[in-house]
Amino acid sequence: MPVPNAAVQETAIGPSPHRVVNDFSIQVATVNGSGSQTANLVLIRSIFQMGVPVSGKNMFPSNIAGLPTWYTIRASKDGYIGRKKEIDVLVAMNPETAKEDVLSLESGAAVIYDEPLNLKALRADLLFYPVPFDKLVAPVCPDAKLRRLVRNMIYDGVLSCLLKIDMAQMEKALRKQFGKKAKAVELNLGALTAGYGYAEANLPKQDPFYIEPMDQTAGKILIEGNAAAALGCMMAGVTVVAWYPITPSSSLPETLIDYMRKYRTDKETGKATFAIVQAEDEIASIGMVLGAGWAGARAMTSTAGPGVSLMSEFAGLAYYAEVPGVVFDIQRVGPSTGLPTRTAQGDILTTAVVSHGDTKHILLLPASVGECYSMAMDAFDLAEQFQTLVFVMSDLDLGMNTWMSDPFEYPTRPLSRGKLLDAETLERLGTEWGRYRDVDGDGIPYRTIPGDGMPAYFARGSGHNERGQYSERPDDYQRNLERLARKFETAKRFVPQPEASEQEGAEIGIIAYGTSHFAVMESRDQLLSEYGVKTSYLRVRAYPFGDEVRAFVERHKRIYVVEQNRDAQMRSLLKIDLPADLASKYRSVLHFNGLPIDARSVTDDLLEQEGAKPAAPKKAVAFSGGLGGE
Amino acid sequence: MADTPTVPPAPAKKTNRLGLEVAPYRGGRTTLCAGCGHNAISERIVESFWEMGVDGSQVIKLSGIGCSSKSPAYFLGTSHGFNAVHGRMPSVATGAILANKTLIAIGVSGDGDTGAIGIGQFVHLMRRNVPMIYIIEDNGCYGLTKGQFSPTADVGSTLKNGVVNDLPPLDTCVMAIELGATFVARSFSGDKKQLSAILKAAIAHRGTAMIDVLSPCVTFNDHSGSTKSYAYVKEHDEVLGEISFVPFFDDIAVEYEPGTTKEVTLHDGSRLYLKKVAEEYDPTDKLKALRVLHETARRGEYATGVLYVEPDRDDFTTLLNTIDEPLATLPLDKVRPPKAALDEIMESLR
């Protein structure tokens, strides 16, 4: 976790003369399993309710209870929702990490801590607020067994007082959190008030951090990416879901089950318009997806990198036998078991070509919870249009963290079922029809599904001719492979297109995707406002790449590909797919420590590669040109 | 008036209740070895589906990898087929049935496909009671990779090079009964009458119908001890040896009465002892079924017949309580909740 990187300064500091309003981060360090999540959600929601843009990131260990966990809330008046590396306000509840947590803070940060930890002696350049949590919790929670849980709500009260977070909003958020559980509301409200009262009476304000009401969150929602994806799947009309629990993807099907039970089950008969199966493993789950997709259902699974590895054989079968299906890959840190509860964009390259032989898969690359929702629908349409697997490459940061978003729009377009052969088309095509025959020149054949009364065919992973018959003939094999490549080429025009944002005269182009987006957006602002460096930006939203990606690379002198893996996987994919003479333009900004990428790291790394080692940023000092060059 | 010459009427072609002749129930030409028991099983499948008057367009046929798994191409030509990956056909079948539970599914696997790589999926197919017919074409060896042992190979059986199998075989019937399959049978590819009857009962059953069919491999149980080995044949028939490796054997056929034991000599000279369960046998008694299987196995016999039936247990789609229509083809208004639902969810997230 936080690596100590701040020099310990000797000079003590006093009450801050200036105010930092709605632009700082709060980190709560607790012990896994101590029930702090509720307190953290109440905290983030109350700031959100005050109209201040927020994002929340949960950094938790791969275990059930007892190990350190951190929850970081970033309030950003400018709406930046990527991770901010520096912590401004620390709530130190975990004895095991408290010392390291404190040592890693930047000078001037505030520390609220459990009094017996006695942290004050560690640093003279921080502002300390000791709070006797145990003493405060005892009178408000007579049941000793519940104290461990209720205790956390005290720091919400303390923060409310110190940071001026409206107590009415705290209470509202708390009631929302507990719903109708009256006893829980009462106990936690008691703890919240006790914390506030203690801080008011004993902790004179010394830090500069304030939350003040804004109007930037009206109408917006707070949601996790996995829940957003689940919603998208339901609206996409998914009917068969087969899954196997794996962090960080499990909350996707679990949320989907909740939604489907509520909205896709007949209230009178109890009959469901869906089947959701917890399979025995990832292999069985993708097998069920293939069976269901072959039989005409909109089918999906969700998994993480290890699951994709297991699914690879079936992925090749789906590609070659041309069976539709949707796979959500909520990426985590690899290789192997890696860091199961940390984030990365490390599955891009393997997933693009997963399985043996020549295979290529459509990847969608959501960057926001909104895209988790909308791309779920895109994925099902594309899977059926192209009769192939579509992988939605989310990640832990997006999937399991809380994000602010505009509410999701109700879909207006009908389901696109692709080229399903019907009587009319069969009449038109006559003997031209063959299961794997390209009659339209786009590489996409017409398929039939069991029970539809149309001609039957035999789906198989072994060599087959245009009629779907077993064949080992060289010309049949080659023609089929070429058609599949043509089909993939066609997909370029139908997948979500990249989004570009250009600054006039920018020589530097940045390419990023997925959750690296938010860090890049913020970094571009830093580069421009602090160093006068202009950049253009292209966010890739799908593989295969649309033609715009190539045009963007061609338009810029140097291309920085920003991604969260060690081996520059997207850069490799660009090199494979775009003309070779562009390859010398690529540079990489890579971030792979398991934590979400942050803007400052991108800025520093990019500047360094431009040949201008970044000094401490100085506002309003324009960078004096002459940057980098080849 | 001269007698009008009478032309004897052409014998009426036999049709089933759908008015169909047997031809549409056939598939492509087999590429398995001549005399392979699997071909006899395909024949019985053709017959039984025809006799039961099943509409081929409402049947799906699935398989894994191996000799056995090629066979769905050789029957029910009007049915959609899916040749999946090694051992993982059960999951594909499960998904297909979930997509459209109105279809009749028949899966064909082998002893290697089921008992080795596929044992996990076999286990879960049985315990889910997915409505399908699951046939194991069981010959105790891997044909397509030239004769290695499979998990149902008997202790003491040998490879061509003399290597002896010293591991006990899996008994897929014992496993299926324990795991929750609701129709478990064993038969022999050469017993036309019994296998047809079992297949017809399996078509009528709603739930997993697991049928282990002993089906001798004519090519790789072909070792030196056999009088019907390739070497022996070659020595005794120069012409055949030069022309082709494909053995000339006929399918083995047996017929025997319930309650009796039949000794069957296979092409390689080895012998099977088939014990047909007696007419008074009660297949709804799970413990009895297991007892019979264990007792016959101890004697080196295979109990054949319908060994266990549990007709009333809910199948997997009933448990999941899915809508009566196929999920695969539900229209938009059935699968996309109204805008009010999304509005409600959005409100809860504010």
Residue with tokens 């990847």: A363
In angstroms, the CA A515 to CA A371 distance is 11
Give how far B201 is from chain A: nearest CA, Å.
22
Which residue on chain A is closest to B325 by alpha carbon?
A: A273
Closest-CA residue of chain A to B344: A263
- Predicted pLDDT at A623: 36
CB contact under 8 A, A314 and B330: no
Q: Taking CB atoms and an 8 Å cutoff, what residues of chain A touch B336? A: 234-237, 411, 415
Q: Does A300 touch chain B (CB under 8 A)?
A: no
Partners of A321 on chain B (C-beta within 8 Å) are 82
Model confidence at A8, in pLDDT bands (50, 70, 90)?
very low
Burial class (CB in 10 A: 0-12, 13-18, 19+), B134: buried
**Contact status, residue A598 vs residue A83, Cβ threshold 8 Å:** yes
Has residue A606 got a pLDDT over 90? yes
The DSSP call for residue A183 is H
Q: Which of B314, B319, B349 to mutate to test the interface with A (most CBs of A within 10 A)?
A: B349
Give the Å distances, CA to CA, from A60 to A18, A137, A340, A377, B106. 34, 25, 10, 30, 47
Residue with tokens 């590819």: B189
* Run of H or E residues at A26: strand A23-31
Burial A422-455 (b: 16+ CB within 10 A, else e): eeeebeeeeeebbbbbbbeebbbbbbbbbbbebb
Chain B partners within 8 Å of A470 (Cβ): 73
B102 touches chain A (CB under 8 A): yes
Residue A382 CA to residue A488 CA, distance in Å, equals 11
What is the predicted pLDDT for the residue at B69? 92
Label residue B264 by pLDDT band (50, 70, 90). confident
Instruction: Report CB contact under 8 Å: B99, A411.
Output: no
Interface of A with B in 321-350 (CB under 8 A): 321
Find the closest chain A residue to B74 by CA distance: A458
Which pLDDT tens digit goes with each residue over B123-137? 999 999 999 999 999
| Neighbouring residues of A552: CB distance < 8 A, sequence distance ≥ 6 | A498, A500, A509, A511, A536, A538, A559
Which of A458, A467, A471, A472 is the mutation pick for testing B, counting most B CBs within 10 A?
A458
Residue A3's pLDDT is 43
Q: Is A449 on the interface with B (CB under 8 A)?
A: yes
Report which of A223, A258, A256 is spatially closest to residue A241, judged by C-alpha positions: A256
Question: If you average pLDDT over residues B286-315, what whole number do you get?
Answer: 94
Q: Is B99's CB within 8 Å of A240's CB?
A: yes
pLDDT at residue A194, rounded to an integer:
98
- Residues paired with A590 in a beta bridge: A563
The residue among A265, A290, A311 with the most chain B CBs within 10 A of its CB, best to mutate, is: A290
Q: Distance from B83 to chain A by nearest Cα, in Å?
A: 5
| Residue of A221, A290, A297 with shortest CB distance to B350 | A221
Is the minimum CB–CB distance between B197 and chain A shorter than 8 Å? no
Residue B7 CB-half CA count within 13 A: 3
A263 to chain B, minimum CA–CA distance in Å?
6
Residue A624 has pLDDT above 50, yes or no: no
Q: How far is CA A325 from CA A241, A258, A384, in A?
A: 10, 22, 8
Percent of chain B residues topping a pLDDT of 90: 70
Q: Is some CB atom of chain A closer than 8 A to the CB atom of B260?
A: no
**Among candidates A414, A366, A376, which has minimal Cα distance to A518?**
A366
* CA-based torsion, B120, B123, B129, B132: positive or negative: positive
Integer-rounded Cα radius of gyration of chain B: 23
Question: Residues 27 to 86 of A: which have CB under 8 A from any B CB?
Answer: none
Residue A5, pLDDT above cutoff 70: no
Helices (H), B248-285: none
Q: Report yes or no: A465 at the B interface, CB cutoff 8 Å.
A: no
User: pLDDT band for position B143 (50/70/90)?
Assistant: confident
Substitution target in B345, B347, B348 with the highest count of A β-carbons within 10 Å is B345
Residue of B nearest to A223 (CA): B349
Contact A287 B99 (CB under 8 A): no
> Which chain A residues are closer than 8 Å to B323 by Cβ?
266, 271-273
Three-state secondary structure call for residue B335: helix
Top residue of B82, B109, B333 to mutate, by most chain A CBs within 10 Å, is B82
Out of B80, B327, B346, the one facing A273 most closely (by C-beta) is B327
Which of the given ranges, A144-153, A177-186, A312-321, has the highest pLDDT on average? Answer: A312-321
Distance CA A513, CA A345 (A): 9
pLDDT cut 90: percent of chain A above it: 92
Number of residue pairs across A and B with CB atoms under 8 Å?
222
Contacts of A263 in chain B (CB under 8 A): 337, 341
Task: Report percent pLDDT > 70 for chain A.
Answer: 95
What does the alpha-carbon distance between residue A405 and residue A427 come to, in Å, rounded to a whole number? 48
Q: Do B103 and A285 touch (CB under 8 A)?
A: no
B324 pLDDT more than 90: yes
Which amino acid, residue A627?
L
Q: Are strands B208-214 and B132-138 parallel, antiparallel or unpaired?
A: parallel
Give the span between the Cα atoms of A295 and A522, in whole angstroms: 46
Omega before A61 within 30 of 0, i.e. cis: no
B341 touches A at CB < 8 Å: yes
Choose the mutation target among B315, B323, B343 for the interface with A, i.e. most A CBs under 10 Å. B323
Do the Cβ atoms of B342 and A271 come within 8 Å?
no
Residue B23 has pLDDT above 50, yes or no: yes
Least confident of A33-37, A362-366, A402-406, B105-109: A33-37
pLDDT digits (tens, 9 = 90+) for A91-114: 999 999 999 999 999 999 999 999
The pLDDT of residue B3 is: 61
User: What pLDDT, on a 0 to 100 scale, did the predictor assign at position A10?
Assistant: 46
User: What's the rounded mean pLDDT across residues A579-601?
Assistant: 97
Interchain contact B340–A (C-beta under 8 A): no
- Closest CA–CA distance from residue B159 to any residue of chain A (Å): 28
Closest CA to B330 of A565, A461, A298: A298
Q: Which segment of A540-549, A577-586, B68-77, B267-276 scores lowest on mean pLDDT?
A: B267-276
In angstroms, the Cα distances linking A493 to A332, A420, A487, A488 are: 30, 20, 11, 10
- Chain B contact for A228 (CB, 8 A cutoff): no
What is the nearest CA distance from A354 to chain B, expressed in angstroms?
16
Average pLDDT for B304-328 = 96
Residue A628 has pLDDT above 50, yes or no: no
Instruction: Mark yes or no for CB contact A450/B80 under 8 Å.
Output: yes
pLDDT, mean of residues B1-23: 80
- Which ranges of A17-94 would DSSP assign to H, the alpha helix? 36-49
Q: Which of A38, A248, A296, A289 is nearest to B330 (CA)?
A: A296
Determine the residue of chain B that is closest to A294 in CA distance: B96
Q: What DSSP character marks residue A431?
A: G
pLDDT at B155: 84
- Please judge whether B84 and A287 are an interchain contact, meaning their C-beta atoms are less than 8 angstroms apart: yes
> Before B326, cis peptide (omega within 30)?
no
Distance separating alpha carbons of residues B139 and B214, to the nearest angstrom: 6
Integer Cα distance of A350 and A336 in angstroms: 13
Buried b (16+ CB within 10 A) or exposed e, B209-236: bbbbbbbbbbbbbbbeebebbbebbeee
Q: What share of chain B is helix, strand, coil (3-state, %, to 5)?
A: 35, 20, 45
pLDDT at B230 over 90: no
Q: Which residue would you say has higher pLDDT here, A377 or B13?
A: A377
Chain A partners within 8 Å of B77 (Cβ): 456
**pLDDT for residue B222:** 53
Asked if residues B41 and B215 have their Cβ atoms less than 8 Å apart, the reply is yes
Secondary structure of residue A591 in the 3-state scheme: coil
Interface test with B, best of A45, A283, A310 (most B CBs within 10 A): A283
Average pLDDT over chain A reads 94
| CB–CB contact A240 B95 (8 Å) | yes
Convert the pLDDT of each residue in B167-197 to its tens digit: 999 999 999 999 999 999 999 999 999 999 9
> Does residue A626 have a pLDDT over 50?
no
- Distance of residue B88 Cα from the nearest chain A Cα, in angstroms: 7
* Of the listed ranges A5-9, A578-582, B312-316, the one predicted with least confidence: A5-9
Q: Is the distance from CB of A597 to CB of A623 less than 8 angstroms?
A: no
CB contact under 8 A, A458 and B81: yes
- For A409, nearest residue in chain B (alpha carbons): B342
Measure B80 CA to nearest chain A CA, in Å: 5
